Amino acid sequence: MVIEEEHVHVELAHDPLDAKASMERVGSPKAGAIVLFAGTTRDNFANLAVKQLSYDAYPALALKTLLHIARDVKSKHSLTSISIIHRLGTVPVGEESILIAVSSPHRQAAWKAGEEALELTKEKAEIWKLEEFEGDEESVWRANRDGQMGVRVDKANLNSLKEEGSR
Amino acid sequence: MSTLNPTPTFKILYFASCATFTRLPFESLPAPLSLRDLFPTLEKRYPGMTKRVLESCAVTVNLEYVDLEDEEVTGKGTDGEGMVIKEGDEVALIPPVSSG
């Protein structure tokens, strides 16, 4: 699922993300700087070993939100181009779950814009992370806003949740 | 009679902790429904849902957030019934997000 405008690209993808493609997308002879942020999935939370993570989303609304964020950040920092891609479904530990690439004539704007786009995405995009732990520990829906573990999911319920995605 | 319309409904989407609680990704509920009756209706279907998940959820109708504290939306303190969810609307409960 992609929304593409001139120099603005937002996307939700089920396949592994391609950092080089993101950089190439925002690259331009007008831009002297490209900043790429790659968020990767961590192998632990609160000292618990994470086996894998899955992301659920409200695709239509998440894309709309990402488009607003990308447009606003591009305009505020006079970027040449911006690309925000988030992965959905199961993401094995160590792989990228989000790529944000921005380009601008000079580096300061690109640094600031990259961070701002990430923070706004984490705050607003309608995407949810489910952490599955090693052993008997129950899975947990995280909430970015308070850094807490969030709501636990019992094992019986987990498989039915992972079969969603037809919405 | 074969020409009878089925009961009018709206679609409600459950994500993350909401889907965990309802054990459903989405379902159809009877329309029309006053927005202020949404949480009580869900609480009746899923006892305990308000405290466990709804209190931390936002609500969208057709991809627009609605402010559940707003008097014009809920009709509280006014004579009206506030905003009404209509047949065919897509409503979603939005738990605290966690992308990245």
- Domain limits, chain A: 2-165
Q: Give the C-alpha separation, A72 to A68, whole Å.
A: 6
Q: What is the mean pLDDT of residues A90-106?
A: 95
Q: Please check if A112 is assigned to a binding site.
A: no
What pTM was computed for the model? 0.89
For B58-79, how does the pLDDT look when each residue is reduced to its tens digit (9 = 90+)?
Answer: 999 999 999 988 877 777 767 6
Q: Mark yes or no for CB contact A143/B52 under 8 Å.
A: no
**pLDDT score of B47 more than 90:** yes
**pLDDT score of B26 more than 60:** yes
Q: What is the ipTM of this complex?
A: 0.89
Residue with tokens 């939100």: A65
Adjacency order of strands within the sheet including B26-30: B26-30, B9-14, B90-94, B58-61, B64-66
Q: Which element (helix H / strand E) includes B91?
A: strand B90-94
pLDDT band for position A159 (50/70/90)? low
> What's the length of chain B?
100
Alpha-carbon gap: B16 to the closest alpha carbon of chain A (Å): 6
| CATH number 3.10.20.30 given to B9-94 | yes
**Mean of per-residue pLDDT scores for chain A:** 90
Alpha helices in A1-139 (DSSP H): 19-26, 59-76, 107-124
Which residues make beta-bridge pairs with B94? B58
Q: Please check if A129 is assigned to a binding site.
A: yes
CA dihedral A90, A13, A60, A158 (to 10 degrees): -10
Greater pLDDT, A158 or A61: A61
For A42-94, how does the pLDDT look when each residue is reduced to its tens digit (9 = 90+)?
Answer: 888 878 898 889 999 999 999 999 999 999 999 999 999 999 999 999 999 99
Q: What is the pLDDT of residue A165?
A: 46
- Please name the amino acid found at residue A110: A
Q: In chain B, where are the structural domains located?
A: 9-94
Q: CA torsion sign, A141 to A160 to B55 to B51?
A: negative
CATH class in words for A2-165: alpha beta
Chain B residues with CB under 8 Å of A125 CB are 97, 99
For A73, the token pair is 């950040």
